[in-house]
Structure 1
Amino acid sequence: MPKISPLMAAPPLLFAVLAGLFIFGMGRDDASRLPTAQAGKDAPSIAALTPLGDLAPLSDEMLDQGGVKLVNYWASWCAPCRAEHPQLEAMAQSGITIYGINYKDEAPKALGFLNELGNPYAAIGQDSPGRTALEWGVYGVPETYVIDAKGKITYRFAGPITQDVLDKYIKPEIAKAAAN
């Protein structure tokens, strides 16, 4: 009877482990929800941002004062950013303050994006090198952070905000942050 090498069992075992991980990942309530180490902490400084054209510049003071606000990282080259834009416009029109941070983009293209789709942002900063995004823990664009009245990050959503995401996650998190 021929002996079976332990190496022969490795590929099926590896496949079974990977399949188990995939099945576990698909079973999560919200696969796009990524944890953030920033939750409960002060929003990182945005002093390194540069103005975007002649639009109202974003400052650290804006994040520390007033009520609940959103910070949305976006770029003109980002297709999901284009997809979420109508939700941002609707939120801004309903009175939610949204600040934008343009990520690794060219100013003329970013301004063209806003001219075409509208500008939902109360103020904007440009993060061309992406250094500020690193401090915030941004994985990629779009990403949206809920900031409470004290300037603390209470929630982060990675990915485009759809109507479903807005109703299930963003609005409840805004309400929770406003209640604190």
Structure 2
Amino acid sequence: MKRWMMLIPLAAFLLLAVFLYKGLFLKPDELPSAMIGKPFPAFSLRAVQGSQTLTERDLHGRAALVNVWGTWCPSCKVEHPYLNQLAEQGVVIHGINYKDDNAAALKWLADFHNPYQLDISDEQGTLGLDLGVYGAPETFLIDAQGIIRYKHVGVVDSTVWREQLAPRYQQLVDEARP
């Protein structure tokens, strides 16, 4: 009986080693999202600029990127110039200013330009929580009916746009045409 007891630590070690080995091959930038294929969560939040109240219905009508950002996020500052370029090319981008001070967000948009057609102020992080946001930046791709079709975690740059987002975005734009 004592021999079996000695095997328990060995079995526990081997089990732990298998899990750790498997973890070496995970891609942290490909975090799964339970929201893919589901409608954008219901919300009623103030716009960053002005006093307008925005809801999920305001996102309907066109395929769009929905970018989660914050002035506290160094990676958001890196991706922001590229989002401005995409907006200048006609890509529809909506923003969610996540867990941020609205005055800081207004200054940011004044200093670095505003690529967002709609910019939602999520000061408490409730919308981000409903979306399953891990942090910023995160970018969701929604179709014209407000269904989430894709999620990218991390900075959107030319490579991410070209290889991951642009083909999916263009397909959604084409599907929405009559």
Q: Structure 2 stretches of 5 or more lacking a match? A: none
Structure 2 matches for 1:21-32, cutoff 5 A?
21-25=22-26, 31-32=28-29
1:146 has 2:147 as partner: no
Which residue in the other structure is 1:41 paired with? 38
Q: Structure 1 stretches of 5 or more lacking a match? A: none
Distance in 2 (CA, whole Å) between partners of 1:156 and 1:133 is: 13
Distance in 2 (CA, whole Å) between partners of 1:154 and 1:110 is: 27
Contact in 1 for aligned 2:63/2:141 (Cα 8 Å): yes
User: In structure 1, what residue type is equivalent to 2:58?
Assistant: M
TM-score, scaled relative to structure 2? 0.84
Structure 2 matches for 1:108-123, cutoff 5 A?
108-123=103-118
* SS of residue in 2 equivalent to 1:42: coil
1:130 has 2:125 as partner: yes
Distance in 1 (CA, whole Å) between partners of 2:19 and 2:68 is: 32
Distance in 2 (CA, whole Å) between partners of 1:162 and 1:72 is: 13
Task: Rate the CA distance shift 1:122–1:10 in 2: closer, same or farther, 3 A.
Answer: same
Query: Of 46, 53, 56, which aligns to 1:60?
Result: 56
Which residue in the other structure is 1:13 paired with? 14
User: In structure 1, what residue type is equivalent to 2:171?
Assistant: K
Contact in 1 for aligned 2:56/2:146 (Cα 8 Å): no
How many residues get paired?
172
- The C-alpha deviation readout for 1:101-138, integer Å capped at 9, x for no partner, is 11110111111221221110112110111111111221
Query: Of 89, 92, 95, which aligns to 2:87?
Result: 92
Q: CA RMSD in A?
A: 2.3
Distance in 2 (CA, whole Å) between partners of 1:50 and 1:34 is: 28
User: In structure 2, what residue type is equivalent to 1:169?
Assistant: Q
Task: Rate the CA distance shift 1:72–1:55 in 2: closer, same or farther, 3 A.
Answer: farther
- The C-alpha deviation readout for 1:121-168, integer Å capped at 9, x for no partner, is 112110111111111221211111111112211111111112211111
Distance in 1 (CA, whole Å) between partners of 2:139 and 2:100 is: 17
* SS of residue in 1 equivalent to 2:86: helix
